Structures are given as C-alpha cells and as structure tokens.
Structure 1
C-alpha cells in the first residue's frame, strides 16, 4: 500500500511547540523508526514573517 507522510518543519513536542526544526532531521528520524521504501519526496519552502519554513511530503511503501 502506498502512503504519504508530511514533514512540516515545525516542532510538535510539548517542550517547543511551533519552533522550527530541520525537515531532514524529521525525515531521518521517521526512516530510523519505520521500515519503508521511499517512492518520492516533494520539498517546498515558504517565506513568512522574515522566516523561511520548509516542508516535505514523502511518498512511500511499507516493506
């Protein structure tokens, strides 16, 4: 089954909600915790309030 996972570049932990985090760190953590085959990754950047926010959409299959 093909699935998607959105990486927002925003910290969702209770300790630092809304703080910027690197998408590659989020992706690497997901890959370490899940056995998946990546089909594609779509990446985009948005400029807002003098900050650049990145997000990535991973398309993958579970192994």
Structure 2
C-alpha cells in the first residue's frame, strides 16, 4: 500500500502510521510518515502507543 509521507511529501511503500488527526466536524485521519522521517522526528508508531494515548503524536526518548 503506497501512501504519501506527511513530512517530506514523497510516496512510500512502507508507510508508518504515527498519529490520528483529530477534527471537530467529523472523522479524523491517520497520519503516515516514511520510515526515515519517522525516525528523524522520533515519533512512536501508532501500534506502539499506550491504550490511553488517543492517537496524539508521541515522541521517543532519544528524540531532541
């Protein structure tokens, strides 16, 4: 499944879901990054979020 990275706007065959985009008027969207941007930004993949995170972006401990 090819998705466009939210950070670099390049298409990737290995999209990593990192957050849920919340909107007040309806359903939100999943935010996808390419593996390089996900690592560079230090974001935790969505499937590794704690159950109570509500999908907001989480940063890994090593991120600056």
* Larger RCO (CA under 8 A, 6+ residues apart): 1
TM exceeds 0.5?
A: no
Structure 1-normalised TM-score? 0.26
**Bigger radius of gyration, 1 or 2?**
1
Which structure has the highest strand share of the two?
A: 1
